[in-house]
Structure 1
Amino acid sequence: MLKNRHPVDIAQILLSVMFLLLIITACLWIVRPFILGFTWAGTVVIATWPVLLYLQRLLWGRRSLAVLVMTLLLLILFIVPVALLVNSMVDNSGPLIKWATSGHMALPRLEWLNAVPLAGAKLYSSWNTLIDSGGSAIMAKVRPYIGTTTTWFIGQAAHIGRFVIHCALMLLFSVLLYWRGEQVAQGFRHFAFRLAARRGDAAVVLAAQAIRAVALGVVVTALVQGVLGGIGLAVTGIPYARLLTVVMIFSCLVQLGPLPVLIPAIIWLYWSGDTTWGTVLLVWSCVVGTLDNVIRPLLIRMGADLPLVLILTGVIGGMIAFGMIGLFIGPVVLAVSWRIYSVWVSEAPEPQSAAAAQTPKVSQENK
């Protein structure tokens, strides 16, 4: 018996899809000012959720008290230090901006080269000969790039107010997510299950684990190394220690480590004749520079059982592609993609196993 097929209304399908796309675009456009703050809040809440549960158990099972304590901790450990660091960058970058925009830049004469044994006088003579012959031409070519770079940094300073707003939104969304975290997580898992059944649910859980692994392994390690390195700079009397601490934390986040900042500081101390503090900073730098080899793998394994190379590649590539928020987006995307790929490949037998299973059949057919 033949069943009557209803004609497909292509126009209705196309209009329905276009209407859904329009609604989604409008929603994204409306919430666009809040996306960055909510993303940061979600990252912070996912990374610190075990701490909230621990505080809740200590505070007689009261979620309100635990949320209050976590809010105060975010203010003390995140908002206030970030505000101080930004203020330090603005204050200490003033002389540099003034020098770069003055238009009186010239290559230094490097008189201290004369004090270098053996080859110092020759190096000084060669350097000043280069300056006298083509120094002005070199600076004429370099000056436009310095001016462009300085203008960019000045333009970035105008975004400090927007950054403060994002921090306030992050704090507000963090409080809401701490209060209703289970319901929000269940909503995301339900949506993912509706899209891809169990695989979708597993992808959401893996994304949370990857965020926690990055927060623990990369961010905490960078903060520990940067703060300890900054303490070493401050104790040994290095100028602009706070600004160099900010640079060191950023260098650790991009996986360069603290040594690009600490090594020039050590050289400066020895060159200025302060060999005692130079030796102290040298020993301290050896300790700080090797901490990531111990702390980072341990913390990443605590967050998620993922390859270390995958996490570090996601951190570097994510920051290049998306900025600071890419620090978490990159590893999450790579981790979820890797796990989906692994599950899909493992559903089929390995080539050796499949060949071994087919060998008896082939031998029987030959007989």
Structure 2
Amino acid sequence: MLDIKIVRTTEPKAKPQDESKLGFGKIFTDHMFLMDYTADEGWHDARVVPYASLPMDPATVVFHYAQEIFEGMKAYRTADGSVQLFRPDCNAKRFQDSADRLCIPKIPVEDFVQAVETLVDVDRDWVPHSDGASLYIRPFVFANDVGLGVHASKHYLFCIICAPSGAYYAEGLDPVRIYVEDEYIRAAPGLTGFTKCGGNYAASIKAGELAEEKGFSQVLWLDGVEKKYVEEVGSMNIMFKIDGKIYTAACTGTVLPGVTRRSIIELLKDWGYEVIEGKLAIADVMKAAEEGKLEEVFGTGTAAVVSPVKELDWEGKVANISGGKIGPLTQKLYDTLTGIQWGKLPDTKGWTVKVEPKV
């Protein structure tokens, strides 16, 4: 167990009065968690301190070689005023997988979860009270050696910041239009597609900007080898309901193993659906749409939870889905998962973790 020192701010910020205008990732809480790593001492000096800028030398290696990873998770306020997390151990384990690929020292699962719980406890008054709003939590680690040279750093900083946030997408649960990208690629076998590292997202910006110029909300990425099989959307995993079965790309190194994705698959199997994780050609998706068999398409992710898709555009062809409305299964998944996360439905899966007041 970490010995976390807590230094509370003497200048607390004014909390947002209108939670309908929170946006996403724009406002940050009073405190942050920090912990250092050195080759000699390992991870040490765990602390919660007032939120502030981080002093960094221009030659800090993360600026030049991008050795960093991050996570995304949320804290939810339930009807009785308590605060809970959703499957934080899954985020902690994925953080370790990302760390391993980026040559970053791993943080034990229990230490990661303790750090998150402690910061959320200190800033629990920042967890929104309004329906649908939550406290977004961003843990990240970056290399902070000073000097140039492409090799694993000997110094790292683990940081957690929190942002009270409303709905991630301005469109809310309204079905979105998605552009199928077949020129640029997001990931390829042997690279970092399964990790949460900034480089993956930086490489996706160009295609995302082009899609946005054309009026699309997101990009659907195809595989990096044949540019034939669907993989994931810019900020979400994606699933297709075709002729009663659920199809989604397998997490075999090029697709992020989403915590929401994993949870949705468990729910679907509980409800008796056949879930097929494997290769699905975009041509087959479009053909299913033509034949009236593409019943629903939806993205899954921490920020959006479940995001319905009403249109796929590929090579000038358009697949219209669910009559432009939210499909019944998509709605049921959204209602069930958010119900568990906000404590409106019983958690029979053991997914939620109460943040008990300790500080």
> Which TM-score tier does this pair reach, normalised by the shorter chain?
under 0.3
Instruction: Please identify the structure whose Cα radius of gyration is greater.
Output: 1
Q: Whose strand fraction is larger, Structure 1's or Structure 2's?
A: 2
Q: Whose helix fraction is larger, Structure 1's or Structure 2's?
A: 1
Structure-1-length-normalised TM-score: 0.22
The answer to which structure, 1 or 2, has the higher relative contact order (CA under 8 A, 6+ apart) is 2
